[in-house]
């Protein structure tokens, strides 16, 4: 039997600096549809990075190697688009050991490596009080741009450490930082943690209809290792509860052991694995 990809739409090209491309396919065995695949290029890092947006095999055709062949075929399509890397985000049901998830086992067998984990926590209803002597205040206009620049640069460096090229990271910052500042010219959900006038750290929190998201936590270097990261996370939970958002989500890069231990100790659970593979 031969497993192939059959396009179900023309190649889609989006306007904009990143020039994102995407296309949907049927996964076919001897011309019989057995699943679907959605392949695209990365909206942030640009056309050199492909992403498997979705891959589904019909229940009756699972456990026969269809997904493996479809994923390998997606790599060939990505090479034809000029991509040097391919990524996939595999959802994980809360409480499930990631190594038992079929999608993660498949990606690992095909040579994908872990870049980041998505984590979430269902919150209670009572905000956490700040420790004595600590105060929280909004980020000022003067502090806003320097913090954003540091945050974007730190994120880019984490990505460079995990396979993204410096040129790709720099191009993303050049596109997204000015756009962010233009859309949000003053600070929104940014909070400074202070003690006796000393800035201990900054929290960047965002909201959607049902969840809140920790985009960044920055602890000032002279005050690291004193538990302020935990305090900022509890502050994020308190602000989420006050905003009636019952779930707090975040991203942690692989091998950031101190952060992983902190989140796990606070009760966060893995809900997805972001994985990538270099295309030779």
* Beta-ladder partners of 217: 203
The token pair at 182 is 């233009």
Between 14-23, 69-78, 80-89, 150-159, the lowest mean confidence (pLDDT) is in 14-23
- Per-residue pLDDT of 138-148, as tens digits, reads 999 999 999 99
Q: What domains sit in the chain, N to C, each tagged with a CATH number?
A: 3-115 (3.40.630.30), 134-271 (3.40.630.30)
What is the band of 131 on the pLDDT scale with cuts at 50, 70, 90? very high
- Per-residue pLDDT of 178-227, as tens digits, reads 999 999 999 999 999 999 999 999 999 999 999 999 999 999 999 999 99
What is the band of 19 on the pLDDT scale with cuts at 50, 70, 90? confident
Q: Coil, helix or strand for 169?
A: helix
218 φ/ψ angles, rounded to the nearest 5 degrees: -120, 120
Nearest to residue 200, comparing CAs of 176, 169, 232? Answer: 232
* Residue that is written with structure tokens 């859309």 in the block: 183
Nearest to residue 131, comparing CAs of 35, 204, 54, 231? Answer: 231
Q: How far apart are CA 234 and CA 127, in angstroms?
A: 8
Burial string for 100-114 (b: 16+ CB within 10 Å, else e) reads ebebbebbbebebeb
* Beta-ladder partners of 191: 138, 203
Q: How far apart are CA 106 and CA 143, in angstroms?
A: 45
- Which DSSP string corresponds to 3-40? EEEEESSPPEE--STT--EEEEEEEEETTEEEEEEEEE
CB 106 within 8 A of CB 67: yes
What is the band of 1 on the pLDDT scale with cuts at 50, 70, 90? low
20: CB partners within 8 A, 6+ apart: 13, 14, 40, 41, 42, 43, 47
C-alpha 106, offset from chain centre: 20
The token pair at 2 is 């031969």
* pLDDT score for 17: 72
* Beta-ladder partners of 107: none
Sign of the Cα torsion 264, 44, 180, 219 reads positive
- Per-residue pLDDT of 76-87, as tens digits, reads 999 999 999 999
C-alpha 191, offset from chain centre: 22
What is the band of 241 on the pLDDT scale with cuts at 50, 70, 90? very high
């Amino acid at each position: 039997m031969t497993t192939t990809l059959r396009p179900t739409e023309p190649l889609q090209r989006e306007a904009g600096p990143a020039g994102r491309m995407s296309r949907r396919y049927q996964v076919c065995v001897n011309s019989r549809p057995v699943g679907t695949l959605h392949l695209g290029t990365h909206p942030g890092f640009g056309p050199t990075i492909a992403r498997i947006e979705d891959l589904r095999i019909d229940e009756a055709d699972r456990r026969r190697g269809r997904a493996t062949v479809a994923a390998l075929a997606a790599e060939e399509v990505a090479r034809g688009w000029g991509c040097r890397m391919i990524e996939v985000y595999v959802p994980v049901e809360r409480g499930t050991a990631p190594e038992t998830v079929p999608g993660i086992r498949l990606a690992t067998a095909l040579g994908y490596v872990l870049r980041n984990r998505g984590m979430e926590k269902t919150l209670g209803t009572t905000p956490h009080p700040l420790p004595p002597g600590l105060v929280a205040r909004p980020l000022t206009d003067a502090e806003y741009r320097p913090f954003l620049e540091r945050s974007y640069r730190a994120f880019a460096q984490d990505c460079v450490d995990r396979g993204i090229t410096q040129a790709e990271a720099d191009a993303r910052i050049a596109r997204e930082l000015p756009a962010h500042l233009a859309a949000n010219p003053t600070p929104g959900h940014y909070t400074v943690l202070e003690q006796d006038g000393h800035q201990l750290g900054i929290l960047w929190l965002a909201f959607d209809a049902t969840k809140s998201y920790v985009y960044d936590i920055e602890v000032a270097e002279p005050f690291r290792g004193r538990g302020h990261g935990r305090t900022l996370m509890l502050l994020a939970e308190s602000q989420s509860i006050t905003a009636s958002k019952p779930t707090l989500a975040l991203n942690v890069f692989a091998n950031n052991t101190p952060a992983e231990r902190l989140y796990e100790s606070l009760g966060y659970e893995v809900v997805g694995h972001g994985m990538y593979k270099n295309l030779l």
